[in-house]
A and B are shown apart, each in its own frame.
Chain A
């Protein structure tokens, strides 16, 4: 830097040396560059689409789809519109994601705690589970579950019967299920009332403890209220709200009960087993992250083992566990798109079919990305809300 430059700067900085001006010029140039690239790409796309003869807009989604979907949570026929087909895909993705998150959390929690068990064998088994399933690609696991396990199960006639009854056959998993009857809605309302009553009782007892120091098993009492209301409703209502349906063999397939096709079962199992390892590691790290002194101090204060875990260790561990587990939930939702490898009609798979039939690449990619972004954002919003609650518990 020369001396002349500094003396000149004392009076007025020339604009080519003014950082503020330079930064705005730089940003404008960057913006221009981005705009030029975008315009170039847009021009190419419109030209390319004209060349192939594809129109723009989303109108094509109202046309009749014309393809069948194997798994449909809502009624759907090939005469329905592409919109309807897309909706079926979205619902399938949501169903596998929600069920997967619940089951993976349970598995991960169990395995995470088991890794720290004082029982040597249990700890080693849990560690082996994590080491094996964490270090192989999910896609390989999915193909293995689908091709080497579920599709190679015996035929319906020789289905493996597990207690329950749960039948395993090459048509998938069929298990005894609960089917709602016409009184189900009324009963659900009753249960909601029960939950409200239970919550009120829990709150009242907590206030009582805060005021007078009266201790009570308030959670158990609240649960009892809910259970009482639910059971009473069950007994009073004429056709019981949920009918137990036992599957039975009819010719080449099962009738009744809950049925999961092999694709669904393999996808769910693969996602749960794979994501479970990551959650298990989060849980282990979270519990280990709580200083030992905390447990010892709580025990010295005379808290019972359950109280130590519930009131001292868990609130602090959750604070560590929740953020990384949220991203695992998001990963599970995104990984459910691997369903395409085993032919399960999820959001991505159905969209691929629509893209192949209509050729509307850009619109469909936009739709797919928007759907996944919506799922991701909703999940992280919910988890952030929960995270905030856990933080409040801390201090």
Chain B
């Protein structure tokens, strides 16, 4: 609906293919030359890639080791636990999609489509069935969530939201319990976690723990207490100044020296701690940027209303600051997800670590391209969809518009 003061755009031109080509590819002599050069390059590239992919590449190495690449050496008779985790997450995702369509629609729709698409691929029949179930649960959850979100007199919608948020909080401990076992379930040592499962676990645990730590560090760096400020500044600058891999190695080598009985802490937990303390420093800098962007008047007004410093920070300043830094933090989490591959150098069998061990299998020697391209594709799908989601999230939350 056009209102007064709104400018109308120019009328749309009719699209004529020949004209489009002339305008977009050959609008000047050097652009024409560039187009031809790029076309030649593209043709050569496509030809060599296609010849390789169709005649020389042998994807059997990926097909045979697919299970290893996905879950590592997780005991096959206990694999239902992994599936249970996936299905639980899918249900919650569906419910969130229904309850908060602005925020979760992109993730939900992408995950749903991905599940159904994967179910079409020639995996084992049970896997395909479970993948289809996963997609169906997302859809079902979405419909149920939408029903629940219709405002009613008794406030069911709001309570449903609180329940789902609580369930998300409980999901991580539950997943860890399901995968580790104990009590009634047979225990599985973390050394048997591997592949994509381990990659995702490392990333999620590090995200969940580094975020609050980073927020605390950011607040500490802006504190008026010199000791706290100095400590936080030193921590942040020291960690940001060194490569992640040195932090990981420090965890591997120095933990046994620093903590008595440190040898008994398993490698996966060490890597998780390493990622957490590393990412927290970067999150802290992002959050500090957000805190600096909040006008002082907000804090002063809150104090004038009688809120104590804790409430001022927690209810007035922090919510505004965190919303500003969502894109930066999602970017940080994407790079954390990619960086989990570094544990392969430290000897863990994550997706890349498993890929390296697959490369050493004697029956598949010389298949580096296939394995590494497959691994790169898996990482790419996750990282790219996260990028996409963050862009949608920015739009949904109106970052930079309010």
Which A residues fall within an 8 A CB radius of B? 23, 26-27, 30-31, 34, 41, 44-45, 48-49, 117-122, 125, 131-132, 134-141, 143-144, 147-148, 152, 334-335, 337-338, 340-341, 348, 352, 355, 361-362, 365, 368-369, 372-373, 376-377
Contact = CB atoms under 8 A, between A and B. Distances in A.
Interface residues of B, number: 54
Contacts of B379: 135-137, 140
Interface string B374-391: 011001100110010000
A27 B228 contact: yes
Shortest 7 CB-CB contacts between residues of A and residues of B? A120-B24, A135-B383, A334-B243, A137-B338, A337-B243, A27-B227, A137-B341
Contact of A373 (B227, B238, B344, B384): B238
B35 A119 contact: yes
A117 B253 CA distance: 50
B225 interface: yes
5 contacts: A27-B226, A136-B383, A139-B342, A143-B352, A147-B372
B31 A118 contact: yes
A12 to B, nearest CB: 22
B338 to A, nearest CB: 4
Nearest to B337: A137
A122 B338 contact: no
Interface string B344-373: 110000001000100100000010110011
Contacts of B376: 136-137, 140-141, 144
Interface of B: 24-25, 27, 31, 34-35, 38-39, 42, 224-228, 231, 238, 240-246, 249-250, 253-254, 256-260, 334, 338-339, 341-342, 344-345, 352, 356, 359, 366, 368-369, 372-373, 375-376, 379-380, 383-384, 387
Given A361-B254, A365-B250, A144 B24 contact: no
Contacts of A27: 225-228
A361 B224 CA distance: 37
B341 A118 contact: no
A341 to B, nearest CB: 5
A166 B293 CA distance: 52
Nearest to A125: B38
A122 B34 contact: yes
Contacts of A362: 254, 257
Given A27-B225, A338-B342, A372-B246, A140 B256 contact: no
Contacts of A41: 258-259
Contacts of A337: 243, 245-246
B386 to A, nearest CB: 9
Contacts of A355: 253
Contacts of B250: 365
Contact of A119 (B34, B356, B366): B34
B242 A119 contact: no
Contacts of A340: 245, 345
Contacts of A141: 376
Contacts of A119: 24-25, 27, 31, 34-35, 38
Contacts of A143: 352, 356, 368, 372
A138 B227 CA distance: 38
A139 B246 contact: no
Nearest to A333: B243
A359 B231 CA distance: 30
A48 B257 contact: yes
Given A119-B25, A136-B338, A144-B373, A334 B258 contact: no
Nearest to B342: A139
Contacts of A137: 338-339, 341, 352, 376, 379
Contacts of B241: 369, 372-373, 376-377
Please indicate which of the listed interface residues A140, A352, A376 has the most CB atoms of chain B within 10 Å of its own CB.
A140
Contacts of B339: 137
Contact of B242 (A44, A120, A361, A369): A369
A139 B334 CA distance: 15
Contacts of B39: 121
A27 B230 CA distance: 11
